[in-house]
Amino acid sequence: MEIIKKKKKLLKKIKHAKKIFIMAHKNLDLDALGSSIGLFQILKKKKKNCYIVIDDKNHELGVDKILKELEGCLKIITSDKVEHILNGKNKNSLLIILDTNKHELVQSESILKLFPEKVIIDHHSLGKTTIKDAFIIQDENASSTCEMITSLVEAYDIELDPYFATILLSGIVLDTNNFTLKTTAETFYCAYYLSSIGASAKKVQYLLKQDIIEYTERQKLLTRLEVISEKIAFTKATPYTIYRKEDLAKIADTLLFFNDIEASFVIGKIDKDTIGVSARSLGSFDISAILAKIGGGGDEVHGAVTIKNKNISQVEKMLKEVIKKQEGEK
């Protein structure tokens, strides 16, 4: 794993830093939060002064459960507090960015310029908006950033509380859709390792429990399902309902469970003026190559894009044209 190859250089940067700030992507999910908390525990064991930067006002159910359970146990700050904590001593500080490498997706883009030293730990593909001035540890073969942090926990021989092992496991389960997507021998080993130090599968299921109203809203999208080229599931929401990005992602995951479906695309409004697209593949379609044509990104098996100032029908037409063209090139 790439993070193991670079563990010595990463450790050197950690040891050199007086203050370390951890920041993941906007709209935290269990992988982003789990990897942040896992890294926080590593840094605590290394006796580092560290903080987790979270600006999100609203959280998905599992993230909200964890943050409430750990209230007062983590040094969580908003980005507007960072400069005050740095107190002008930027050179001796380190920003570690998790579960994204794109500057527009981080919790706070404005604080990037405060840190001459930055590290990225991520399992998504790099792109045009990847943060350039950072030490990048990127591994597209990893199922999740939680998998990468778990490997680091073992490599650094960190004693981890079973509760935090459970949080890391929940991130792996989420991003692999219960070990059905992008799962390797390393993924199963990390799950085994976390279980061996006390991670609770029952607690993971609790964290992944869903709100019944939100679940019902998502199921409405299935009634609008169509199949393209006999193997691509495609669905779009009505223009009257606003969904969260993670809701679209969960529907895209679900569609892969149907017979003969090898890829899925879900379109819906994520705010008044923005359309979101979430896509998944079992590997026979390169999701990042498709979504890149309409301004999105991801990797071979999952990705997303947000598009402003267009309606659902316009985005649908754009996406179908790209898919049709790629199918014709095969």
Residues 6+ apart with CB under 8 A from 300: 140, 281, 283, 285, 286, 287, 288
Between the alpha carbon of residue 146 and those of residues 35, 122, 195, the distances in Å are: 5, 9, 14
Tokens of 136: 């990048």
Q: What is the pLDDT along the chain (330 residues), one digit of tens a residue?
A: 899 999 999 999 999 999 999 999 998 999 999 999 999 999 999 999 999 999 999 898 899 999 999 999 999 999 999 999 999 888 899 999 999 999 999 999 999 999 999 999 999 888 889 999 999 999 999 999 999 999 999 999 999 999 999 999 999 999 998 898 889 999 999 999 999 999 999 999 999 987 778 778 888 888 899 999 889 999 999 998 899 888 898 899 889 989 999 999 999 999 989 999 999 998 888 898 899 899 887 778 888 999 999 999 999 999 999 988 877 665
Residue 201 in contact with residue 172, Cβ under 8 Å? no
Domains identified in the chain and CATH numbers: 2-207 (3.90.1640.10), 213-329 (3.10.310.30)
Taking the C-alpha atoms of residue 127 and residue 110, their distance in angstroms, rounded to an integer, is: 20
> Given this model, what pLDDT does residue 182 score?
85
- Residue 267 burial by Cβ neighbours in a 10 Å radius (0-12, 13-18, 19+): buried
Phi first, then psi, for residue 23 (nearest 5°) are -140, 130
**What is the separation of C-alpha 181 from the centre of its chain, rounded to a whole number of angstroms?**
14
**What is the separation of C-alpha 141 from the centre of its chain, rounded to a whole number of angstroms?**
14
pTM (global) more than 0.75: yes
Taking the C-alpha atoms of residue 283 and residue 302, their distance in angstroms, rounded to an integer, is: 9
DSSP tag of 170: H
Taking the C-alpha atoms of residue 221 and residue 95, their distance in angstroms, rounded to an integer, is: 39
DSSP tag of 143: S
CB atoms within 10 A of CB 71: 9
Residue 115 in contact with residue 95, Cβ under 8 Å? yes
Tokens of 119: 């590290």
> Given this model, what pLDDT does residue 56 score?
96
Report the amino acid identity of residue 227: V
> Given this model, what pLDDT does residue 103 score?
94
Tokens of 214: 């939100």
> Given this model, what pLDDT does residue 329 score?
63
> Given this model, what pLDDT does residue 64 score?
95
> Given this model, what pLDDT does residue 296 score?
85
Q: What is the dihedral of CA 240, 249, 38, 168, to 10 degrees?
A: 120
